[in-house]
Amino acid sequence: MPAFNAETPHVLGQSEAVERLKSFVDNIREQFKEQVSEMNGEWDDSSLQFSLTTYGFTITGTLNVEDNRVHVDGQLPFAAVAFRGKIQQAIEQELSRALA
């Protein structure tokens, strides 16, 4: 499966950024309920293992919160490779909003 990466800087410190992002999964699920048919996530300290299904494509990955940035490493199905840039951009925009 093809990989994608997204990164968003922040000035909140790790613990504050984690607290803000803990509701991120629920907010995304509600905000994009028409496009996302399934979304799951499990936190382990400052890392979130997630999966989401949108338009029939399942995307999986790990979101890691550091002191001054959030980094996402994910996997896309081959059929979604054409949308990789758009997916990365959308993730970065939503993370920036959550951490503003």
pLDDT in tens, 49-81: 999 898 888 999 999 999 999 999 999 999 999
Q: Provide the pLDDT for residue 54.
A: 86
Q: Provide the pLDDT for residue 31.
A: 84
Reading the block at residue 94, the tokens are 């939503």
Does the domain at 3-99 match CATH 3.30.530.20? Answer given as: yes
Helix ranges (DSSP H) in 1-100: 14-22, 24-31, 84-99
List pLDDT tens digits, range 5-56.
Answer: 999 999 999 999 999 998 877 887 888 888 888 888 899 999 999 998 988 8
Phi, psi at 59, each rounded to 5°: -115, 130
The residue ranges of every structural domain in the chain are: 3-99
Q: Provide the pLDDT for residue 23.
A: 82
